[in-house]
Structure 1
Amino acid sequence: MPIDISPQPLGDSLLQLGQQTSLQILYTPDLVRELNTSGLRGNYTPENALRQLLKGTGIEYERQGNIVTLKRISAVTLPSLTVSTASLKQGTAEEGYRVSNVSGIGLWGERSLRDTPYSMSVVPSDLIENVNAQNMGQIFKMNPLTQEPAIHNNNAIPMVTIRGFTSFNPIYDGIPLALGNGSAVSVIEIDRVEILSGTSGFLYGGGRVGGAINYVTKSPTNVPLRTLTFGNYGGTQFYGHADIGGKFDDQGRFGYRVNLLYQGGDTAIGEPVNQKVANIVLDGHLTDTLYADLKYTYNDYRKEATQPEFYMMERTSIDTSKRYSPKWTSNDVESHKAYTSLRWDPSKHFTLRSAFFYQNTGGSTNQMTLDDQVDGTFIPGVTSGNTWQKFENYGGYIYLDTRFSTFAVDHKLTLGYSSTVIDQVSPTGGSYWSGPSLPLSELKNISEPDWEEPSAGGDIYFDRYNNVLIGDDITFNDQWSAMVGLNYATTINRGTGWYGDGSTYEKSALSPTVSLLYKPIEVVTTYISYMEALQKGTIVGNTYTNRGEVFPPLVSKQYEVGLKYDINPNLLLSTALFRIEKANQFSNLARPIPTFVRDGCRSITAWN
């Protein structure tokens, strides 16, 4: 049956559980005082829901029919602070890094991972910490659903390949970014990463044909947390990381979390790195039904002598343990990011959820590329020339959930709106330098060119995605359920200078989804789903004969059949058969000037 309980004190959660099920829960007020829960949403049996709420509290229960009596576990040895903190969250090492719930997928709220009709995996904070991850690339290469990604140099965003397509535009706490540019991310602000394999157009708007990456950021802890970590990321990249969290008051209504990082030194191949990160989080249960939080992250990152990108390589005998770039090739980024969310539960029938995200970033990239020559030398090229780009990423959503029943069928109907924007300004006439053909051993001795001053003003790139959504999470009985929805998605694009002629591209389309779930037994969920995604058509760039041509929007389609099996409390087995269809766009490679064309359909059918 559907259970929907918001994060709050344990006593309030037990009261809501009793209202939503047939359980009569008996306990003394002292037993639950100063205990809190992170909430629970999804399809659970009443007893499984109770077990999840009591997990890590030191409380057990006895059940006789529908009457449940709570009592403290006898002979409890109090754990250390670190273990006590971990016991109040999912995905601990002791649990095999298993996570039972996802924080939310698009307009669908928090729910059981097993009862989510999409192929998903979750990387919890314990795994991120225990592998000493410097960036999320180290996590994705261990995940069976993703290929080892390239890391975008100037903001550390992984370009993750999922189901044959690259996902570059991240999602922060359920808010998708219109473009990855300027979206600096630090590992220390991430609590966990939710990886959705497959087309996600209905959920997040345009793009993301192969999958979506949701970075769930850290929140205040229910018990005091005080950790100080010193380590090394390789070479002489030493770092110090402080993580402090807890509650301001005895009732546990108002909390805080602070993460601070300083990193300095050289990478294993001699690239100087300096990074400073500050992440501050405040939250509070303003009333019994109203919750809000506020998060801020400052990221200042600089890396010099960044390894070049090898272009059109015909050999693979490059010794990657050596550095080939001069020190003046560098990547700089300075980012301010703010996020706030609100949840209001005026009654058991209605929930209002909203969030807003804003990020302001300045960045400069002097990235060297090397063009392989037949005589074994390389022609170096460098773009940007110390010119700074300005990025603004912002977006948000507002969703209203209503719960009602029609005869014996339960509904959770959600209406909502979401929007996300990238506004990028690049200096007009940014410099490009190309040097003579040189052997690898001489490249790092190249002197820095005399860069031309950029022209006044700037070239503008603007992307926006708007989504008007409706979805119904339907429960027919304990075995059958369905999720259906429509997204009226709009994509808007405008560019000047290098990015276009200033005209506005605006297209809209309906992106539907439908999923049917069947549970032959409690621990097994099977599903079949269909989803579409709107993606803006290409505005052909300056290097093609049809420069400025605007292609109509693309509509991608995905069909998926899957099965999820809770083998035991620490192991979830999932498998899926899927097919993705997407219109094909490419250069025809004509000489001397190619034409950019759309022809045919790219499709992928596979298991994962």
Structure 2
Amino acid sequence: MPAVMPLSTRHLLRAGFAMSLLLSTPLWAADRALRTYEVPAGSLGAALTRFADQAGVSLSLDPALVSGQQSLGLSGRYTLDEGFLQLLRGTGLLLQPVGEGAFTLVPAPQDASVLEIAPTNISGGQLQLNDGQPYAGGQVARKGSQGLLGARDFMDTPFSMTTYTHELVKNQQARTLSDVVASDPSVRATNPAGGRFEQFTIRGLSLFNSDVSYNGLYGILPTYSIDMEMAERVDILKGPSQLINGISPRGSVGGAINVVPKRAGDKPITEFTGSYASNSQVGGAVDVGRRFGEGEQFGLRFNGVKQGGDTEWGQQRVDREMAVLGLDFRGERLRLSADLGHTERDTDAPQERVLVGANARVPSASDVRHNYAQRWSQAHTNDTFGTFNAEYDISDSLMAYGAVGARESHHDFLRHNVSIINDAGDFSVQPRDFTRDESVRTAMAGVRNWFHTGPVSHEVNLAASYFYMDFTNGGARYATALSNLYNPVATPTPVTPTRSDGQAYTENRFSGIALADTLGFVDDRLLLTLGARWQRVQVDDWSDGVKGDTAYDEEKVSPSAGLLLKVTEQLSLYANYMEGLSQGKIAPSTSINEDQIFPPFISRQIEVGAKYDLGRVAFTASAFRIRQPAYETNATSRVFGPNGKRDNRGVELSVFGEPLDGIRVLGGVMFIDSELTGTVNGAFDGNRAPATPRYNVNLGVEWDVPGVNGLTLTGRGIHSSSQYLDQANSKRIDGWERFDVGARYALKLDSTEVTLRANVENLMDKRYWASAGAPDDSEPGLTLATPRTYLLSATLGF
């Protein structure tokens, strides 16, 4: 008995001390309202002061008490007591009230220092300790990066946004960005998976790879294909996003995609993944992460990939290499990070879009059984890039941040168009040697300030951005031969050019200044974001050293506004108005005014929506309208240019989470009515815009098999409805479905964690036209679906 009594006494003292503090704090204990807090990682003193400022209470502290202590920060919805308890966990400090709405810090008595009180009623049942905190099920993250506005929880965002996690990337065995976006009904790939480059649509409008940002910076990632082994998360935001990140290099306005780089976590990681993809692609990937130094301030994360072999396309081979190094520093007030990367990709016999001539009907996809690309065609891309990011807490309520980035790329193609000229599927093979060298320099800097004016909270952001890219195109053309889509004919390897293309040099300079304020009313249950971005677009071009006449220098102020109402802890309603300025379209190679650059244009979106978070499963719904100019290549004159406007009106529904233990869902549906208006002489008014399906549907399910620990079965269905190739709506492709299945098994062998994965994409091996091409910026062309593909991998964690 004597040995037991001191232990019991110590427990009673600890509990009694804690209860005395709680009972003597009527304001703290009574404030049970959930509010949204955004406190970045950094020094403990700065984190506590920023939290108190956002909560609207006063906090005094002795700097000696918090000296040298770090905080992981806080993100999400908390009551006042939950937030303070979470920030003070493990610090040996306790909160002491000194008046109404005023607190100070005191050292916890020795007997009470180990007492921990777990927070309750946290949204989604997850502690919001970092930007990548996953939602239930682990496939989607709660927070997404929003450039100028910082990282925010999806329930606190007046936009439609989904953030896919690294776990989803790994479990789907995604190799490129195209594999990841296949999970989103609002996004579709518009170029063949075995092609030279990737391209997408969001809400029926084009998005190029060059418009995908890397940690908020445009133009840094490889232009033609982005390897997913480098990604910690992938943010997809729907609608014009110029307020957030500024104008993108190719002016995409249907939405934005941001790739978040990997960082070393607090837990060391050493993984090796061996992979196989049919027909005979074999590869390996390593992922190593460590933290070191005093307080583990320094972090290192390295990802490397080497994969190569034949694909399912026949006579096609793809070899790829990737190496990305991420470094970071977490100081008391200063946070730094840097990323250095290099990628190379060689593709033999890459797929091209199938162009359909005016005198030919749409070919039958089911009859295309062979790779119609010539064996001698090839694509080689080489990209080297780097970024540097910094954040500094000037004070506990003012933060300065900035980033710079650069990329150097060399691309070399020997290719040919596939332009069907008759119903038999014949097409001319005109070899073209095409080279492109790109150089990118980009920078941004800003300040973010948190403060209150009476009962109204403010988060003010002021930022400036600059983007520079120059590129040089050159090449040659060779003698024309004839082949057939259904029965390809091997043509001679081109040797002697029949024509040399002039060397074209182009400079793009985009600059902008943005200001935004997020105002919080009624304990931040009503959030109003108001902002505007001034942008200047400068383009100059030369051909064989002679300055062209398509150069322009234009500027525009683009306003944006967002309103979010937290009706309850689980329900948020929102609305937004967003404008986007886009660089002018570039005439495609199949037009007679090839490479002509058109002036910038403006797109406008209105959107309303709702988000319902049940903790284990979440639903989102939105209705939107986007208007922008429409472009086409005239069927008779072959001149590319604007023709009317496209009016995209749509509805999106999505679901994600783990509604039942061991059952995860991810999917949704998008309905879109894309109508042409104001076309020349009203010829196409009322028609559906090209390359825009009326419906997209996705549904993925994962099931942890009961009784077999570590075994998960997966399935996914994807559907797109019919699409037109032209503004006249005279040519159409049918709707299509694709079914994928898979399984994974996680186990532990001694101290090694092993995950085995097997996936089958396009299980039924259906041949169909997956897309009618890019809807608004180039020649309509058909994308052939990828044949049935087997993916196998084994990940070993040491």
Structure 2 length-normalised TM: 0.65
Q: Matches of residues 239-388 of structure 1 in structure 2 within 5 Å?
A: 239-270=283-314, 271-285=316-330, 287-312=331-356, 314-318=362-366, 322-374=370-422, 376-385=424-433, 387-388=434-435
Partner of 2:649: 605
Q: Matches of residues 66-215 of structure 1 in structure 2 within 5 Å?
A: 71=114, 90=132, 95-103=137-145, 105-150=146-191, 156=197, 158-168=198-208, 169-177=211-219, 182=223, 184-206=225-247, 207-215=251-259
Distance 1:53-1:368 versus aligned 2 partners, 3 A rule: farther
Post-superposition offset of 1:576: 0.9
Partner of 1:82: none
Contact kept, 8 Å, 1:501 with 1:548, in 2: the verdict is no
Q: Matches of residues 411-490 of structure 1 in structure 2 within 5 Å?
A: 411-427=458-474, 429-438=475-484, 440-443=486-489, 445-452=490-497, 458-478=503-523, 479-490=525-536
**Which amino acid is 1:101 matched to?**
K
Partner of 2:543: 497
CA distance in 1, matches of 2:261, 2:156: 23
CA distance in 2, matches of 1:225, 1:63: 40
DSSP-derived class of the 1:223 partner: coil
DSSP-derived class of the 2:148 partner: coil
CA distance in 2, matches of 1:356, 1:462: 19
Measured against aligned partners, the alpha-carbon deviations of 1:256-300 in whole angstroms (never above 9, x if no partner) come to: 001111102111234222212111111112x41011111111111
CA distance in 2, matches of 1:318, 1:228: 39
1:216 pairs with 2:260: yes
Distance 1:457-1:449 versus aligned 2 partners, 3 A rule: closer
DSSP-derived class of the 1:143 partner: coil
Measured against aligned partners, the alpha-carbon deviations of 1:176-227 in whole angstroms (never above 9, x if no partner) come to: 239x883652111111110011122322333222111111111122211011
Partner of 1:79: none
**Which amino acid is 2:215 matched to?**
D
Paired residues, number = 582
Structure 1 length-normalised TM: 0.84
Partner of 1:562: 609
Contact kept, 8 Å, 2:194 with 2:313, in 1: the verdict is no
CA distance in 2, matches of 1:159, 1:298: 21
Post-superposition offset of 1:146: 1.6
DSSP-derived class of the 1:95 partner: coil
Partner of 2:566: 519
Contact kept, 8 Å, 1:153 with 1:331, in 2: the verdict is no
CA distance in 2, matches of 1:546, 1:234: 41
Partner of 2:765: none
Contact kept, 8 Å, 1:140 with 1:149, in 2: the verdict is no
**Which amino acid is 1:601 matched to?**
K
Distance 1:133-1:34 versus aligned 2 partners, 3 A rule: farther
**Which amino acid is 1:46 matched to?**
L
CA distance in 2, matches of 1:488, 1:513: 11
Structure 2 gaps of 5+ residues are 1-34, 118-127, 653-798
CA distance in 2, matches of 1:562, 1:70: 46
CA distance in 2, matches of 1:435, 1:577: 49
**Which amino acid is 1:358 matched to?**
A
Distance 1:48-1:174 versus aligned 2 partners, 3 A rule: farther
Equivalent in 524, 531, 549 of residue 578 of structure 2: 531
Distance 1:273-1:148 versus aligned 2 partners, 3 A rule: closer
Structure with bigger gyration radius: 2
Measured against aligned partners, the alpha-carbon deviations of 1:510-558 in whole angstroms (never above 9, x if no partner) come to: 1001112211212221111111111234576898788998755322111
Distance 1:2-1:305 versus aligned 2 partners, 3 A rule: same
**Which amino acid is 1:108 matched to?**
L
Q: Which moved more, 1:396-405 or 1:118-127?
A: 396-405
**Which amino acid is 1:182 matched to?**
T
Contact kept, 8 Å, 2:47 with 2:396, in 1: the verdict is no
Distance 1:279-1:402 versus aligned 2 partners, 3 A rule: same
Distance 1:154-1:251 versus aligned 2 partners, 3 A rule: farther
Distance 1:192-1:49 versus aligned 2 partners, 3 A rule: farther
Contact kept, 8 Å, 1:248 with 1:255, in 2: the verdict is yes
CA distance in 2, matches of 1:53, 1:95: 26
Post-superposition offset of 1:11: 8.4
DSSP-derived class of the 2:240 partner: coil
Contact kept, 8 Å, 1:392 with 1:423, in 2: the verdict is yes
Contact kept, 8 Å, 2:425 with 2:486, in 1: the verdict is yes
Post-superposition offset of 1:496: 2.4
Cα-Cα RMSD:
3.9
CA distance in 2, matches of 1:542, 1:327: 22
DSSP-derived class of the 1:126 partner: helix
**Which amino acid is 1:146 matched to?**
V
Contact kept, 8 Å, 1:182 with 1:362, in 2: the verdict is no
CA distance in 2, matches of 1:497, 1:604: 37
Post-superposition offset of 1:343: 0.4
Contact kept, 8 Å, 1:62 with 1:70, in 2: the verdict is no
Partner of 1:578: 624
Q: In percent, how many aligned pairs have the same letter? A: 23
Distance 1:390-1:350 versus aligned 2 partners, 3 A rule: same
Contact kept, 8 Å, 1:309 with 1:368, in 2: the verdict is no
Structure 1 gaps of 5+ residues are 75-85
Distance 1:226-1:148 versus aligned 2 partners, 3 A rule: same
Distance 1:170-1:324 versus aligned 2 partners, 3 A rule: same
**Which amino acid is 2:548 matched to?**
D
Post-superposition offset of 1:560: 0.8
Post-superposition offset of 1:326: 3.4
DSSP-derived class of the 1:481 partner: strand
Distance 1:95-1:48 versus aligned 2 partners, 3 A rule: farther
Measured against aligned partners, the alpha-carbon deviations of 1:297-326 in whole angstroms (never above 9, x if no partner) come to: 111111112234322162224456633333
**Which amino acid is 1:362 matched to?**
H
DSSP-derived class of the 1:175 partner: coil
